[in-house]
Amino acid sequence: METAAKRTPFSRRGFIAAGVLAAAAASLEGCARPEATGDAPAQGPGSDSLPLRPSSQGAGADGPQGNGSPAGNDPLEQLLASMTLKQKVAQLFIVTPEALTGASRATVAGELTEKGLKRIPVGGICYFGQNLESAQQVRELLAGTRELATSTGARIAPFLSVDEEGGPLVARVANSGLFDVPAFPNMAEIGATRDAARAAEVGATIGGYLQDIGFNLDFAPSADVLTNPENTVIGPRAFGSDPELVADMVSAEVEAMLDAGTLPCVKHFPGHGDTPGDSHTGAAVSSRTRDQITSCELEPFRAAISAGCPLVMVGHIETPAFAADGLPASLSPTMITGVLRGELGFTGVIVSDSFSMGAITQRFSAADAAVRFFLAGGDMLLLPENLEEAYQGVLDAVYAGTLSEDDIDERVLRVLAAKQEAGIV
């Protein structure tokens, strides 16, 4: 039976270097329907030490090859030059296995997964409770998906991601009852100890068991500061209401998770702790001023970036007293490019919160939202409402010149650099 091979833990410095590498390379270049359980499992070793492999598909397979510029000796540039535009755009999406295959429920990786990856070789897949049936089944699902991704389409290993914050509210693996792993209390209880070593224990433990099972990306920890006690969306998921305390806890968890071999992704930039609304169902608006957000909400994100966190998730949070553009942060050039990239100096991968949430779907089509996200400076779009429409919308934007292929290349290089440094590919 297939199991995922263990990866060697990677250094925090490496992720900072990866961001620099991606930025330098870029400058040189200028949840639909959930997979039927009848899908036969893929056969293969499921090794996590497979090298970066260029696609064997030529231009006639799915469109023109890149921009035709010389790749030089850099392996990432060589890989990028070997990819078609369609393959590059696909790398910028993280989707459910159901959205990839069009089936009702995904518990194995087989023919439908292979067809989906060949057609749209996405950069990552996110798993939920309905995908988890048994410990062995989950290991085979992840190992099989990785093997298929590295043998078809763009031939690039995907992010295999999950929401595993710890606590009774958001822990898909620990709360499934399928694995003999430690269960943690809410992060509010961890924060109340004011002992960063407890947060490090959370990161080391969760990062360790996710890595052992075969996941490589965790959408955690929450870097939100609970400034509004009436906020029930985040509530006890946050470490606390003191920005310095939250910053200490977040940086400790990030460092420990990286050392354990799993990529952390801090969330929900620029901070979800004040919003009375729930972005799952509609608009989430923060009433905080620019000075308040800068000195409080952003502090844990600064700490996470300093700790080497390779990914940051941007939430659907409107800041009328800060950006004042009427847009959720996930679509705001001010918040993504101006603040996260510019003011905070983040060079890693910027991921959106789920684009199947009401804060997005009630105002924008899948295609429009996707194009807006990339124009704002985002790198990877999480869970579009309709993968086909979002994917085609981005391609159409490139064909029309709204997005340039250099824009796409810059984002793909960041994604590939993070994967390479983490040993995912």
Residues belonging to the active site? 280, 353
Token pair of 275 as six digits: 């919003």
Question: Could you tell me if 310 and 356 are in contact, meaning their C-beta atoms sit under 8 angstroms apart?
Answer: no
Q: Are 181 and 209 in contact (CB under 8 A)?
A: yes
Burial class (CB in 10 A: 0-12, 13-18, 19+), 169: middle
CA 132 to CA 140: how far, in whole Å?
Answer: 11
Which conformational region is residue 402 in: left (phi greater than 0), alpha (psi within -120 to 50 degrees), or beta? alpha
Neighbouring residues of 392: CB distance < 8 A, sequence distance ≥ 6? 367
Classify 4 as helix, strand or coil: coil
Joined together, the tokens standing for residue 164 give 């595993």
Indicate the helix (H) or strand (E) that contains 247.
helix 243-260
Distance CA 170, CA 69 (A): 45
Coil, helix or strand at residue 11:
coil
- Spell out a b/e string for 353-373, using b for 16 or more CB atoms within 10 Å of the CB, else e: bbbbbbbbbebbebbbbbbbb
252 CB contacts (<8 Å, ≥6 apart)?
196, 197, 199, 200, 203
Please choose, from the candidates 217, 213, 250, the residue with its C-alpha nearest in 3D space to the C-alpha of residue 349. Answer: 217
